[in-house]
Structures are given as C-alpha cells and as structure tokens.
Amino acid sequence: MIKSLNHLPHPHENAQVLASHFTDLAPPLNARQAVLESSRCLYCYDAPCVNACPSEIDIPSFIRNIQQENVQGAAHTILSANILGGSCARVCPTEVLCQQACVRNNSQECAPVLIGLLQRYAVDHAQFSEHPFTRAAPTGKRIAVVGAGPAGLACAHRLALHGHEVVIFEARAKSGGLNEYGIAKYKLVDDFAQREVDFVLEIGGIEVRHGQRLGDNLTLSELHQQFDSVFLGLGLAASRLLGLPHEDAPGLLAATDYIRELRQSDDLTQLPLAERCIVLGAGNTAIDMAVQMARLGAREVNLVYRRGLEDMGATGHEQDIAKANQVRLMTWAQPQELLLDEQGRVRGMRFARTRLEDGRLVSTGETFELAADAVFKAIGQTFDDAALGDPLAQKLKRVGDRIEVDEQLRTSVPGVYAGGDCTSLGQDLTVQAVQHGKLAAEAMHAQLMLDQEAA
C-alpha cells in the first residue's frame, strides 16, 4: 500500500464502524427539507449569489423550480451552467462562494439559503430518461483534451455539445481528477465521482484514453498537429517540498498521496494508521488530511501552521470541522527538523515558534518538539513540469509554475487552451475548474467556427 507508512498499525475499528465515519459529512436534504429551504429563497433579481458562483448557475431559477416541484427543471438549469453540478454541490466551499453572498446572510437573519444542499437535492433527484443535453450537428472538428479532471471533463462535454469530436488523454486509470483521487472521502462519498463521469460522457462524442501521460508517452507537438485544438487540464500533480533533510524518510508523506490511497481503498481497515500525527499546512487539504486521520482513529492529530488562524487558507467552516473532530490547530510554529528513530523512521518533528516582525515572519528562537508516527505535508500542490517537456510545450508562457492564460483561457500558443488548477487564473476549486473548462470550450468553439467561415 503506502510504502512509506508500511511500518504503522491499522485502524482498530471494524470495517462497518470505519465506513460510518466516512459517510456524508453534510447529509443531503430530504424532500420536505428541500421544499422548506427552497421557500426561503427570495428569488432575487441580479442575484448576488449568482455573481458569487464561479460557474454562474442561475440559482434563484433552479431554487424556484424545486419549490414548484420541478426537480428535473432545477437540475437542468444547474447542469447547463455546470455539468459537474453534482460534485460541486458537495465540495464547493459555499461559505465563501454563493452562500456568502446570499442576501439572507444580512445582519438580521445570518442564515443564508442552503444553496449547495439544494443544488445537490436537485441533481440527485432528477431522473432523466436520457442525457439531458443533445449534441449539435457534427462539425468535423477534433479536439484533444489532456486530463480528465473537472476542467477537462467540463471542457469535453461542452465541446461535444457543440458537435465536435473529443479525445481525452488521461494519465491515470480512472477519470475524474481530484474528484476521484483527492477530495475528502466524507465530502464525495461512494462511487459518486465515477457515476458523474459516466453521466458526463453519456452525451457521446468523447473518447477517453487512459494511461496517456503528456510529457511521457504523449507530446503537445503531436497533439497540436493531429487535432484542431488542444485543451490542457493537467491540475497540479506535484506536492511542494519542505526543503528539510530526510524528506524521503519513512513516515513522511504528501497528504494528497495518503488521501488518494484512502479514497481508492476498498477496505479502510487495511490503511496505515498514524496514532499520533502531524499535518503541516493551512489549507483545506490540510484540514481534510487531519480530519480523515482523526476519523480513522488517530488519538492525536496536530495541524501545525506557521502563521495565525486568520491567515489560514481553510475557511472558518473547515476549521470548525477540524475542531469538531478533535484536531488540534497549532499556529505560529514552523518545521525545523524532522526527528527520526534508530531505523530512520519519523518519530516526531521539532518546530520553531514564529511571530510577525514588521510584517515579516521570523522565528522567536524558541523551539518545541512534537512526537508523531507520521508527518503529512499539505503545504501546497505545484505544477509537474515533466508534462511540458517537448519543444512546443516549452513555448507556453508561465506565471510562476503555472500556465499563463487570458480570460478566454487561451495560452500563449495559438490553438492551445488551458484551465483549472494548472493555470494562474482564479482559485483552485472544482467549480472554478469546471468554469474554465466550459469557457475554454466556448472560446475554442467560437474560434473554430470563425476559422471555418474564413476558410
């Protein structure tokens, strides 16, 4: 399984109990709750919530459809703006997106309409006898999409809708990207990610080729030659390094690697359990890691961050989840040294206390040690440069390690578009990736049709 953690014990609870720890963190609404909740929506005009949804779902409209017992219509509205509306409803940090903007958040009510849960209700309960979207007449254009994550899938679906033929090249054995391999298990339960992929592909005209890795058995130059247009939805495949000695010691691991194993595991009892663990980081990935380890039965989970709570990337809602799961949030402490036992395995970590001095983070000189059977890094994902090795790919302009794109998701190489986490645009969120994929598809479609007219 996870080699680096092979020496650790397994969870103590039986499979059934463990499984119960990984069911929906936010349980779905039942029909009655959905109707009640939908009646709270004021059906705003120029609704602030829509403005705050990266995928621009017509929220008042779909909620009104739920209220009027037209669940199919509600789902259609959602999916026409966001084909992954089902997973977004589950994973979106609504507390900083749509629900934060809901007018019912005003000081007198402080209770936004539960847009995410309503969205989930609609998508889960709509029964379509066939795929709800029909493809336009074939255009004869072929488009390559690299990466079957949210960005790639959304792009492919929209392209197929417009009548283009799409081939998705995906490195891994399953499609879905982080929906399949990365999202906390209690946010996206059972095989929902795969069912959603199946739903997206139902539209037809999309071929997915697995085991195709750009930079390995595939080059951008080839794709550029063979297809009318290319979309890159590569995500961020690499994890940031600590830059400390013994970075490869057993017991030290990227959080995303562990979560991937957890999500893929059919038998949670066989996972390695770090009774005492340290999670380094401050984003939602760090929280996800810490909470999942706690739910597997870890006794002591310390999430350590070098700045204060208010600086954390994780939302207040996420921090509350951590606290509710007995995760200890320790701030103002920076990793200084990985502590190893005689066999060279992680036994803990020494931290330097930090503080701000003239806006700069400095260590106070004080240190402390935390014992741990494993340390998980959740200090950020980075772009895996290996993907862009060939000469054409090297021409892509970058912003930091990411691919530069404009508002239409065009890269610096004509005919090559990119979206999702691998670009510099917007936040690293599923819903943002979906929007990128959708907008890129529209831009590609418009360009191809323009070229056709000109020809």
Partner 1 sequence: MADLSIVFAGIKAPNPFWLASAPPTDKAYNVVRAYEAGWGGVVWKTLGEDPAAVNVSSRYSAHFGPNREVMGINNIELITDRSLEINLREITQVKKDWPDRALIVSLMVPCEEESWKFILPLVEATGADGIELNFGCPHGMPERGMGAAVGQVPEYVEMVTRWCKTYCSLPVIVKLTPNITDVRLSARAAHRGGADAVSLINTINSITSVDLERMVALPMVGSQSTHGGYCGSAVKPIALNMVAEIARDPLTKGLPICGIGGIGSWRDAAEFIALGCGAVQVCTAAMLHGFRIVDEMKDGLSRWMDSQGYTSLDDFSGRAVGNTTDWKYLDINYQVIAKIDQDACIGCGRCHIACEDTSHQAISSLKQADGTHRYEVIEDECVGCNLCQITCPVEACIEMVPHNNGLPFLDWNHDPRNPYCVAS
Q: Given the rule CB under 8 A, which residues bind partner 1?
A: 35-36, 39, 42-48, 51-52, 67, 101, 103-104, 106, 108
Any contact of residue 49 with ligand SF4 (CB under 6 A)? yes
- Concatenated DSSP letters of 23-90: S-SSPPP-HHHHHHHHTT----TT-HHHHH-TT---HHHHHHHHHTT-HHHHHHHHHHH-TTHHHHHH
Question: Between 48 and 313, whose beta carbon lies closer to partner 1?
Answer: 48
- The Cα 75–Cα 85 span in angstroms is 8
Among 8, 11, 29, 60, contact with ligand SF4 (rule: CB under 6 A): 60
The dihedral sign for the CA sequence 262, 265, 269, 274: negative
- The Cα 379–Cα 340 span in angstroms is 21
- The Cα 10–Cα 71 span in angstroms is 43
Among 5, 18, 29, 41, contact with ligand SF4 (rule: CB under 6 A): 41
Segment lying near ligand SF4 (by CB under 6 A), choices 56-64, 144-152, 176-184, 191-199: 56-64
Residues 78-107 that bind ligand SF4 (CB under 6 A): 82, 88-89, 92, 94, 97-98, 102-104
| DSSP assignment letter at 214 | B
Question: Between 119 and 354, whose beta carbon lies closer to ligand SF4?
Answer: 119
Q: Which does 433 bind (CB under 5 to 8 A by kind): ligand SF4, ligand FAD, partner 1, none?
A: ligand FAD
The torsion angles phi and psi of 338, rounded to 5 degrees, stand at -85, 130
Site pattern 145..164 for ligand SF4 (x: CB under 6 A)? --------------------
Strands 276-281 and 346-357: unpaired
Question: Between 57 and 298, whose beta carbon lies closer to ligand SF4?
Answer: 57
SS3 169: strand
Any contact of residue 113 with ligand SF4 (CB under 6 A)? yes
Residues 6+ apart with CB under 8 A from 57: 50, 77, 78, 81, 82, 85, 98, 119
Q: Which does 57 bind (CB under 5 to 8 A by kind): partner 1, ligand FAD, ligand SF4, none?
A: ligand SF4
Site pattern 20..39 for ligand SF4 (x: CB under 6 A)? --------------------
Task: Using CB under 6 A, count the residues that bind ligand SF4.
Answer: 28
* Residue 430: its H or E element: helix 430-454
Cβ(185)–Cβ(115) below 8 Å = no
Question: Between 18 and 114, whose beta carbon lies closer to partner 1?
Answer: 114
Cβ(176)–Cβ(434) below 8 Å = no
Residue 356, both tokens: 């701000």
Q: Strand order of the sheet with strand 346-357? A: 333-340, 346-357, 360-371
Question: Between 45 and 391, whose beta carbon lies closer to partner 1?
Answer: 45
Q: Which does 349 bind (CB under 5 to 8 A by kind): partner 1, ligand SF4, ligand FAD, none?
A: none
Question: Between 92 and 388, whose beta carbon lies closer to ligand SF4?
Answer: 92
Binding site for ligand FAD (CB under 6 A): 91-93, 146-152, 169-172, 177-178, 182-183, 187, 212-215, 233-235, 237, 256, 259, 284-285, 288, 381, 387, 420-422, 428-431, 433
The torsion angles phi and psi of 197, rounded to 5 degrees, stand at -60, -45
**Closest approach of ligand SF4 to the CB of residue 295, in Å:** 24
Q: Which residues bind ligand SF4 (CB under 6 A)?
A: 41-44, 47-49, 53, 55, 57, 59-60, 63, 82, 88-89, 92, 94, 97-98, 102-104, 113, 115-116, 119, 431
